[in-house]
Each structure stands twice: as C-alpha cells, then as structure tokens.
Amino acid sequence: MDISGADRNHPLPGERFFYGWFIVGILFFISIIDGGFTYIFSAFLKPLSQEFGWTRAQTAGAFSLYLLAAGLTLPVWGWLADRKGVRPVFLLSALIDGVALLLLSTVDSLFAFYVLYFLLGIGLGGIGPTTVGKVISQWFVAKRGRAMGIALIGAGAGGLVLVPFAGFLIEEFNWRVAYRGLAALALGGMLPLVWCFLTDTPQEKGLLPLGQERTAQEATSTATTAAAASGSNLKDALCAPTFWLLGVTFCLGLMAGLGVTAHQVAFLQDAGLSLESASTIAGVTLGMSMGGRFFIGWVSENPRYVHRMLVLCLVMQATGIAILLYLDPLRFWTIVSFVLLFGLGYGGLIVLWPLTVAHHFGLRAFGAIAGVLGTIAASFGGAVGPILVGALYDSTGSYSLAFLTCSGMLLLGAVVALLTTVLQPARSLLPSDYAHGH
C-alpha cells in the first residue's frame, strides 16, 4: 500500500476511518473478558466461604495471590511484549486464564484454590493496562487518551456484564458451573479474537500512528527506530523520583480500590441484599468505571491535567466509600452516590496507569516500565487490599473499620500524587499541539 506523502492524521480519500480504531475495538472486547475475570471474585466470595467453611480472609487470600502473581509477572510480560510483540503475550495469557478457570470448577481444598488463582493471576498479568497501553501507544500519538480510555472501558464493561452473570449462574446452578462458563469465554472468545485480528503496530499495515506529522517516505525508514529510541529506558525510570511517587500512589489506590471491590458483594449481602442484587450493584459500579476511563483518558490528553486527574480520582473513591459506610447502604441515593463516585474514580485510576508512563517516560521501554510500576501497584497494593479487608472483617465482625481504612489510604495516595515531581514528558513522537498542552 503506497501512502507516500500522506498525512496520517486523517484518513486517505476512500478510507472510512483510521485502522487503529479497529484495533481499539479488538482491545475493548479483550478487556471485557479480562476485566470480568478480575472482578467476578466478589460474587464467589461468600458462596465459597460458606460451602467450605473458610473465613473471608482465607477466601480473599486467593484473590490477593491472584493480584500478587499478576503484579510479579508484569515486568516479564512487559519485557516479552517489548521484544516479541503483544500478540503472542495475549495468546499465551488467554490460554493460561482459560485452563485455570476450567480447573477452578473442580477445586475441593483451599490449597488448590490458592494455586489456581495464582495461575489465573499469571495469565492476567499479560492482559491488562500494560500490554493494552503498549498497543494503543504504538497506534496513537494524537487522541491517545481517548483511545486508551475506550480500550480499557472494556474492563469496566466486563465487570458490568460478568459479575451479574456469575451471580446468576451461581444462584441458578452453582459456582462450579459459573467457573466453567468463564473458562469458555477465555478459550472460545479471547483466543480466536487475538489470533485472527490483532495487529501490534501500524507499520505492519503500512500505516503511521495517528497524529504523527511526517511523510510516509520518512516514516518508512524511521518510524520503528524513532519509536524505539523515544523516551527513557528502565534504568533511567527507576532512578527518577517521579516513578517511585507514582508507584506509591498507584499502590495505595489499588490496595484500597481492590480491597473494596473484592468485598463489595459480601458487604451488600450482609446489609440485607440478595446475592443477585448485590452482584448487580457491583457490576453497575464497575460499569460506571467505563465512564471514568473514557472521560479521564480524554481530559488527560492535556499533559497539564494528568496529575490533577490522578488526585481527583483518588478523592472521589474515598468519598464514595465514606458515603456507603456512613449512610444506609440500602437507600437508593446512597447506592447511586457510591456507584458514581467510586466507579468513576476507580476507572480513571486504571486508565492513568499507562497514560502516566507514556507521558513521563515515552515508548522506548514502555512495557518494562509499566510492568514494574504494575508490580509495585498490584503486588504490594492490590494483593494486600482484599486480604487486609477480610482480616479486619474477621477481627471486628463488620466492614466498618476495613472500609474506613481504605478511604484513608486513598486520601493518603492523593497527597502523594500532589507531591509527585512532574518530569518533562517524552516529546519526540508527540504532535506539536500535544507537546504544548493544547
């Protein structure tokens, strides 16, 4: 395909749209499945603890191991994506997730439950903001935030659809059938989608990233090397104070956010709602995060707003938890307020993870840097949150202290985000309007 002399900011005559938006659509559907696998745990928490006699802290420990495995393997998946491409990473991850979910339907001991959730977490590490963010960053310079938000909206949609779906299957059949249904989605949905349709880079299609203001002739010889050379390497990023401040911020954010998410259904059941109703509210909360991912991603295309949005997202989540905790959780407006604030804030936090990496450190080692940041956030934050909330519940008999602690962690994270040193963003592949914040 000859695109010599073309400005790839806009489609050529006869082209309906930039092909990268098709890639965004594929990533959206992949994220639906991946996000659903993450968030469905809350629907299984109480049924499993009741059937096997496990405490909630013991049961939530599986979810913590899941997040620990995901976080520890993120740098490996990121390194592999930087060198081999995202497509093989997605294929292997989908296979691991499908097998783990299928085997989860057969568990009869806490040890086996832990092992299989750890395996599921390994698969999760290859499909998430790190690898999705890498693909989007390679396809988009202009409108990157919107593209990132749309792709990651899928994870919220997965929560919206799959949490109630899992709750329905558990109530109508049992939790073993629910795990088998989710395994079918991984093996029969995600694998064929990635195998048949995903393309890592625009260069593979003879295209340029959207917003890259170069002629095609220049791009043919320089696009790949420019993308590789742009930004920091992993060593430089690890020496930057901004990286570690971001690490603490996302660590606290995920510790609190995932702690509440993992126990939300059980909290609402304890308040008097049925499993199906509680699962539906949890699903709507995660569905609301779709709006946060898109809106925050869009606003954060302006580099001046990246850190302001990060602070806002953390404060919104803290406020939502406080409302749920101190007002009657069975009242309609209490639920609506929590769903709006917590859902929007949590969705924004997730989309800002890859966006802050691309903004501060560029694409040179995006996968590795985002992976290490994810290890800090997921392994030392997300993995601790669910089991900490469960332990506080077991010791006090209620979620009051646990949820109050989560709200405090989010506010502390907002303070750290305010202290973050704003580095000069990597600009070599940014269009002039983005580089100047317009």
Domain membership flag for residue 429: no
Q: Is the pLDDT of residue 432 over 70?
A: no
Residue 279's closest CA among 257, 258, 263?
Answer: 263
Give burial (CB, 10 Å; 0-12/13-18/19+) of 327. Answer: middle
Q: Are 384 and 64 in contact (CB under 8 A)?
A: yes
pLDDT category at 103 given cuts 50, 70, 90 is very high
Residue 438's pLDDT is: 37
User: In sequence order, what are the residues at sequence separation of 6 or more whose Cβ sits closer than 8 angstroms to the Cβ of residue 397?
Assistant: none
The residue among 65 and 38 whose pLDDT is bigger is: 65
Domain membership flag for residue 213: no
pLDDT category at 133 given cuts 50, 70, 90 is confident
- What are the b/e assignments for 132-155, b being 16+ CB within 10 Å? bbbbbbbbbbbbbbbbbbbbbbbb
Q: What separation in angstroms does the CA of 199 have from each of 102, 150, 157?
A: 28, 17, 23
CATH of the domain at 172: 1.20.1250.20
3 state DSSP class of 206: coil
> At residue 429, what are phi and psi to the nearest 5 degrees?
-110, 15
Q: Which of 123-132, 151-160, 211-220 has the lowest mean pLDDT?
A: 211-220
Q: Is the pLDDT of residue 437 over 80?
A: no
Query: Which residues form the domain of 90?
Result: 20-203+224-423
Give burial (CB, 10 Å; 0-12/13-18/19+) of 185. Answer: buried
Tokens of 266: 């059980």
Q: Are 322 and 373 in contact (CB under 8 A)?
A: no
> What pTM does this model have?
0.67
Q: Are 160 and 385 in contact (CB under 8 A)?
A: no
Helices H / strands E in the chain, number of each? 19, 0
145-165 pLDDT, tens digit per residue, is 788 878 877 777 777 788 788
Domain membership flag for residue 14: no
Domain membership flag for residue 219: no
Distance, C-alpha 258 to centroid of its chain: 11
Share above pLDDT 90 across residues of the chain, in percent, rounded to a whole number = 17
384-396 pLDDT, tens digit per residue, is 888 889 889 889 9
Residue 342's pLDDT is: 94
Domain membership flag for residue 415: yes
Domain membership flag for residue 321: yes
Residue 114's pLDDT is: 94
Q: Which of 193-197, 214-218, 248-252 has the lowest mean pLDDT?
A: 214-218
178-189 pLDDT, tens digit per residue, is 899 888 888 888
Residue 429's pLDDT is: 40
Domain membership flag for residue 392: yes
CA-to-CA distance for 62 and 94, rounded, in angstroms?
Answer: 20
The pLDDT of 187-211, averaged and rounded, is: 82
Q: How many domains does the chain have?
A: 1
Domain membership flag for residue 433: no
**8-state DSSP, 365:** T
